[in-house]
C-alpha cells in the first residue's frame, strides 16, 4: 500500500536587502539554512524576493519611476546564472525543496523583466522557472507577462508541487491547470502591499485566496509574503502581509504570521487530501468534462524564430539562399 509524503514545511516572511542582489541572495541562503535546520523539507520564500518589489509603480508617475526601473534591471538576475547556482547549492546542501521569487532579466532585451518563481529540488536541480502570467495593475509598468510553458506541476521529494505568484492565485483557470496536473502541494508567494487602496486588507486577501484554493482543490498551500523595511522608502501599515500554511479544508494548519518577519512551520501529511477528494474532486468525479474543457497552450513564446539550415539555391535564383520550408 502506497503512502503519500509527510513532511515539515516552512513559510518565510521576510524583507529583502532592498535592490542589493548579492546581500539578498545571502539572506535567502541563511533563511533556507535556518528553516532546514528546524526540520523543514520544503522552504517557500516571497515573491520577487531577489532583490525586491517595484513599489515606485504605485507611488510615482511612470516618468518619475523610470530611473528606478533601470536600477531594478541592473539588480535583477539571469536564469540560469550565478545567483541561481548559489540558491541551488543551498537547497542541495540542506536537502530541502526551495521555492523563491526573483526579478529575471533576459539577454535579448533591455526592457524585459519577468516576475519569476524558481522551484529547486532537494538535490539542487532547478526544476521550474515560472514567469508570472499577468502582472497586476501597476506592475505592468515593470514586468512582461510570461507564457504557459511554465504552468506545470513538478514531482518533488515532498510530492506534486505547483507554484503561482501573488495575484495569479486569483486566476481560477491557472489554479485549475495546476490541480488538473495532480498538484497536492501549492506554493503561493506574495509581497507586502501597504500601497493598496485604503479599504484593501492584504492579509485578508491572502488568506481568502489561499483558503479558496485549498478547499476547492483539497490541497495544502504554503504561502510566503515579504515585509517592509525602512530602505524601501514607503510607509508600512498594519495587515500588509500574511504568511502561513493551510490545509485541504481551507483552514490554517497553524496560526499565520501577520506583518512581522519570521518563519512559520507546520507538518503536512498529504494523506489528509484523500478523504476530502471523495466529496469534491473537481479534477475528477466532481466535474463534467463532457461540458467543460480547458485548453492550456504550453508552447514557449520567443520574440523571433531563427532557421539555421538553408538549401543550395538553384542556378537561376537571386543572389541569396532560400530558407527551408
- For the annotated catalytic residues, the residue numbers are 47, 132, 166
| Contact call for residues 47 and 165 (beta carbons, < 8 A) | yes
CA 202 to chain centre: 18
51: cell is 532583490
Separation CA 188–CA 200 (nearest Å): 19
Please list the helix, strand and coil fractions of the chain in percent, rounded to the nearest 5, in that order.
Answer: 30, 25, 45
Sequence-distant (≥ 6) Cβ neighbours of residue 147 within 8 angstroms: 131, 133, 297, 299, 300, 301
Backbone angles phi, psi at 163, to 5 degrees: -135, 145
Bridge partners for 267 per DSSP: 8
**Strand stretches in the chain, DSSP E:** 6-13, 42-44, 97-106, 109-120, 126-131, 154-156, 159-165, 185-190, 220-225, 242-246, 257-258, 262-269, 310-311, 322-323
Amino acid at each position: 500500500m502506497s503512502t503519500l509524503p509527510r513532511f515539515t514545511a516552512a513559510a518565510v516572511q521576510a524583507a529583502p536587502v532592498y535592490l542589493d542582489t548579492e546581500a539578498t541572495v545571502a539572506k535567502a541562503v541563511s533563511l533556507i539554512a535556518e528553516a532546514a535546520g528546524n526540520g523543514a523539507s520544503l522552504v517557500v520564500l516571497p515573491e520577487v524576493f531577489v532583490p525586491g518589489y517595484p513599489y515606485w509603480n504605485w507611488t510615482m508617475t511612470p516618468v518619475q519611476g523610470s530611473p528606478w526601473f533601470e536600477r531594478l534591471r541592473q539588480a535583477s538576475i539571469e536564469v540560469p546564472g550565478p545567483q541561481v547556482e548559489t540558491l541551488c547549492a543551498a537547497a542541495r546542501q540542506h536537502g530541502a525543496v526551495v521555492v523563491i521569487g526573483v526579478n529575471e532579466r533576459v539577454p535579448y532585451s533591455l526592457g524585459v523583466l519577468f516576475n519569476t518563481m524558481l522551484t529547486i529540488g532537494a538535490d539542487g536541480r532547478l526544476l521550474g522557472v515560472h514567469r508570472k502570467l499577468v502582472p497586476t495593475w501597476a506592475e505592468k509598468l515593470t514586468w512582461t507577462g510570461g507564457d504557459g510553458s511554465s504552468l506545470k506541476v513538478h514531482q518533488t521529494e515532498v510530492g506534486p508541487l505547483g507554484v503561482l505568484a501573488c495575484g495569479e492565485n486569483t486566476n481560477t483557470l491557472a489554479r485549475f491547470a495546476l490541480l488538473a496536473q495532480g498538484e497536492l502541494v501549492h506554493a503561493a508567494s506574495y509581497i507586502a502591499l501597504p500601497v493598496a487602496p485604503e479599504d484593501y486588507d492584504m492579509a485578508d486577501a491572502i488568506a481568502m485566496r489561499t483558503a479558496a484554493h485549498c478547499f476547492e482543490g483539497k490541497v495544502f498551500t504554503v504561502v510566503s509574503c515579504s515585509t517592509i523595511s525602512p530602505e524601501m522608502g514607503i510607509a508600512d501599515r498594519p495587515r500588509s502581509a500574511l504568511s502561513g500554511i493551510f490545509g485541504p479544508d481551507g483552514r490554517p494548519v497553524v496560526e499565520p504570521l501577520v506583518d512581522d518577519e519570521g518563519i512559520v512551520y507546520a507538518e503536512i501529511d498529504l494523506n489528509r487530501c484523500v478523504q476530502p477528494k471523495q466529496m469534491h474532486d473537481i479534477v475528477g468525479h466532481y466535474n463534467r468534462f463532457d461540458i467543460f474543457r480547458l485548453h492550456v497552450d504550453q508552447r514557449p513564446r520567443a520574440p523571433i524564430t531563427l532557421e539555421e539550415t538553408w538549401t543550395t539555391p538553384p542556378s537561376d535564383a537571386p543572389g541569396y539562399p532560400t530558407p527551408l520550408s
